[in-house]
Chains A and B, each alone.
Chain A
Amino acid sequence: MSPNPPSPVARTAGVLDVARLKRDFPVFERTARGKRLVYLDSAASSQHPRQVLQAMDHYYEHSHANVHRGVYELAEEADDLYDQARRAVGRFVGAADPEREVIFTKNATESVNLVASTWGRHSLRSGDVVVLTEMEHHANVVPWLMLADEIGLELRWLEIDDQYRLDLEPLDRLVDGARLVAVTAMSNVLGTIPPLRQITETAHAAGAVVLADGAQLVPHQRVDVAELGIDFLAFSGHKMLGPTGIGVLWARRSLLEAMPPFLGGGGMIRDVRRDGFVANELPWKFEAGTPPIAEAVGLAAAIEYLEELGMDAVAAHDHDLTAYALASLQERFGDELLIHGPRSAEGRGAVLSLAYRDIHPHDLAQVLDQAGVCVRAGHHCAKPLMRRLGVGATARASFYVYNDEADVDALADALAEAGTLFG
């Protein structure tokens, strides 16, 4: 339904043709601080190809109406687009039953909160065990802390080893008696990608369900929920070339059926009387109020774009660029540059948390900004991990489909300038 099909496949022999692909992204027509824009903050939020923006514009200009309520042509079209988006998301993550198992939310954070508020409050009792990891984003920590405050959970923590990988040695012991293992599919600080399938098998053997925070991994690799065996998957649209304001919760149908509704209101009910209500069927039971329709259309266009590139090509591109960055930064800066994360590109994503000499991350980010290089400085919503690393903040560079080796070189040049300035 998008007005223009995605660009012809911009890849050559498994590797993305970045120069060509970049022309799809209007933002790269601008400069930053008068320099070439080097956007290295996609782990926070990615940029948008024209195809996504045009799909959303087209929806607003031609087919906007509220969903599920109208019999007229416009409303039918809006319904169709919204349903198509749900099917596209389901297809993208290998859902067995996309039309019931894919719930649209505001973002990955809301998806985790939905699980904590409904499945958690409904199924967990005082003293139940939830296993987390110390490299979780706050989105997969605070909802469980809130629930622990409310009903009294025992939280157990998987830790990282000195190679910044998840230490799975105590996993058997930690999952013993656990009800839930909530784990990131890829750390937004370290880039570490834990072996989700192995964790899930161990968790299931112990009788625990598994929630994966896929906010970082889903945009960068083919994620198949059936292959991984997980029970819940949360992710956001805006880190995968889509718009802000839309996220996804995928969950097994059997779990969703047993969960009470999340927010109450229109759309999520089958009947309402003065003395009660009957919840709607899946997936609408979890989608109260007018949903983010245009955002769903945009997300579907983003998925179409990524599928056109091929997720295996995206992953290979990430891997190659990360390997180049690790090698070239090491060669240029040696021990003066510390990377908080695995030193090999295997089993890690395209996220580099940097500490250069003793330059504070905010000062580093400020100098990089003057060179047009956009990185994020701060705790990256992972304060338990920051404590473990013994730092208050890091400067983080993250790569996506539109980044290339020239961007890594620009990062290195700007780091060198910072080194000169702070002597």
Chain B
Amino acid sequence: MSGLEDLYREIILDHYRSPRNRGELPTPPAQRAEGFNPLCGDEVVVYVQVDDGILSDIRIAGQGCSISQSSASLMSAAVKGKPLSEVRALIDTFKAMMSIHQSSLASQAGDAAEGPGISEDPAAAPGDRVVATSSSPDADDAARDDLDDAFEPEPVDPEALGELAALQGVVKFPVRIKCATLSWNTLAQGLDEAAAR
């Protein structure tokens, strides 16, 4: 069960059982974005309120597995009240953690990823998409970003991630990575749409 303990850290289970910032915000003024994982039916709805360059409020709705729901909850706690530039940076850092560790963990965790496939980001699996996007699906873009990061890894400082670092065990379970990144891709989409308004 050691692998499972990496995945289901106590802090993750806590956020799953008692999700933070659960609910909705009136739109407008808030922006609503919806992310969907058609493979497992998980959906997350992110409401963001942006005031003067600050992500002043955020709410999460939707349903899904413990990883997608706790990731959304942890995300909401981490970004609330932060300047948009910091939020964007955190999104990048989080997604980097979801890919860099894939390759660095591969050397120590034999069963997580083997052979030549390790630089491939499982988040790029077909079918992973964020609905209501304009051109190419967001998740694919995200996957491409992740892939770029993987070629030139920047060290992720666990300190910068705080509680979010609890999610790093997810990368040992490749099919669950898109559960963890779903809410982050949806947040990025919501911020894009808010900026475009």
Asked, given contacts A33-B111, A360-B64, whether A366 binds B40 with beta carbons under 8 Å apart, the answer is no
Contact A362 B111 (CB under 8 A): no
Contact A386 B13 (CB under 8 A): no
Does A377 lie at the interface of the complex (its beta carbon under 8 Å from any beta carbon of B)? yes
Residue among B7, B8, B41 making CB contact with A379, cutoff 8 Å: B41
Contact A366 B41 (CB under 8 A): no
List A contacts of B43 (CB < 8 A): 392
Residue among A33, A377, A417 making CB contact with B40, cutoff 8 Å: A377
Does B107 lie at the interface of the complex (its beta carbon under 8 Å from any beta carbon of A)? no
Complex Cα distance, B66 from A408, in Å, reads 25
List A contacts of B13 (CB < 8 A): 421-423
Contact A378 B4 (CB under 8 A): no
Shortest Cβ distance from B4 into A: residue: A370
CB A94 to nearest CB in B, in angstroms, measures: 38
Does B3 lie at the interface of the complex (its beta carbon under 8 Å from any beta carbon of A)? yes
CB A389 to nearest CB in B, in angstroms, measures: 12
CB B1 to nearest CB in A, in angstroms, measures: 6
Complex Cα distance, B65 from A378, in Å, reads 11
List B contacts of A336 (CB < 8 A): none
The range of chain B's interface size is: 20 to 34
List A contacts of B92 (CB < 8 A): none
Query: Do most interface residues of chain A lie in helix, strand or loop, or is the interface mixed?
Result: helix
Contact A392 B41 (CB under 8 A): yes
CB A274 to nearest CB in B, in angstroms, measures: 41
Task: Give per-residue flags for B116-131: 1 if the beta carbon is below 8 A from chain A beta carbons, else 0.
Answer: 0000000000000000
Shortest Cβ distance from B5 into A: residue: A421
CB proximity to A under 8 Å, residues B50-76? 63-67
Shortest Cβ distance from B13 into A: residue: A422
Contact B63 A422 (CB under 8 A): no
Contact A417 B65 (CB under 8 A): no
Contact A366 B7 (CB under 8 A): yes
Number of interface residues of A (CB under 8 A): 18
Residue among B65, B111, B173 making CB contact with A360, cutoff 8 Å: B65
List A contacts of B8 (CB < 8 A): 363, 421-422
Query: Do most interface residues of chain B lie in helix, strand or loop, or is the interface mixed?
Result: mixed
List B contacts of A366 (CB < 8 A): 4, 7, 173, 176
Does A393 lie at the interface of the complex (its beta carbon under 8 Å from any beta carbon of B)? yes
Asked, given contacts A33-B111, A362-B40, A378-B41, whether A421 binds B176 with beta carbons under 8 Å apart, the answer is no
List A contacts of B149 (CB < 8 A): none
Contact A393 B40 (CB under 8 A): yes
Contact B4 A392 (CB under 8 A): no
Does A367 lie at the interface of the complex (its beta carbon under 8 Å from any beta carbon of B)? yes
Residue among B1, B64, B173 making CB contact with A417, cutoff 8 Å: B1
Does B177 lie at the interface of the complex (its beta carbon under 8 Å from any beta carbon of A)? no
Contact B41 A367 (CB under 8 A): no
Does B24 lie at the interface of the complex (its beta carbon under 8 Å from any beta carbon of A)? no
Contact B111 A392 (CB under 8 A): no
Does B145 lie at the interface of the complex (its beta carbon under 8 Å from any beta carbon of A)? no
Does B39 lie at the interface of the complex (its beta carbon under 8 Å from any beta carbon of A)? yes
Complex Cα distance, B40 from A370, in Å, reads 19
List B contacts of A422 (CB < 8 A): 8, 13, 66
Task: Give per-residue flags for B64-107: 1 if the beta carbon is below 8 A from chain A beta carbons, else 0.
Answer: 11110000000000000000000000000000000000000000
Shortest Cβ distance from B3 into A: residue: A370
List A contacts of B42 (CB < 8 A): 362, 392
List B contacts of A360 (CB < 8 A): 64-66
Complex Cα distance, B111 from A360, in Å, reads 24
Does B179 lie at the interface of the complex (its beta carbon under 8 Å from any beta carbon of A)? yes
Complex Cα distance, B41 from A393, in Å, reads 7
List B contacts of A392 (CB < 8 A): 40-43, 63-64
Contact B179 A362 (CB under 8 A): yes
Task: Give per-residue flags for A407-420: 1 if the beta carbon is below 8 A from chain B beta carbons, else 0.
Answer: 00000000001000
List B contacts of A378 (CB < 8 A): 39-41
Complex Cα distance, B7 from A33, in Å, reads 15
Contact B4 A386 (CB under 8 A): no
Complex Cα distance, B85 from A15, in Å, reads 67
Contact A362 B4 (CB under 8 A): no
Task: Give per-residue flags for A360-372: 1 if the beta carbon is below 8 A from chain B beta carbons, else 0.
Answer: 1111001100100
Q: List 25 A-B contacts (CB under 8 A).
A: A33-B3, A33-B111, A360-B64, A360-B65, A361-B40, A362-B40, A362-B179, A363-B8, A363-B67, A366-B4, A367-B4, A370-B4, A378-B39, A378-B40, A379-B40, A379-B41, A386-B41, A392-B40, A392-B64, A393-B40, A417-B1, A421-B4, A421-B8, A421-B13, A422-B13
Using a CB–CB cutoff of 8 Å, the interface residues on chain A facing chain B are 33, 360-363, 366-367, 370, 377-379, 386, 392-393, 417, 421-423
Further pairs besides A362-B179, A422-B13, A423-B13: 8, Cβ < 8 Å: A361-B65, A366-B4, A367-B4, A370-B3, A378-B41, A379-B41, A393-B41, A422-B66
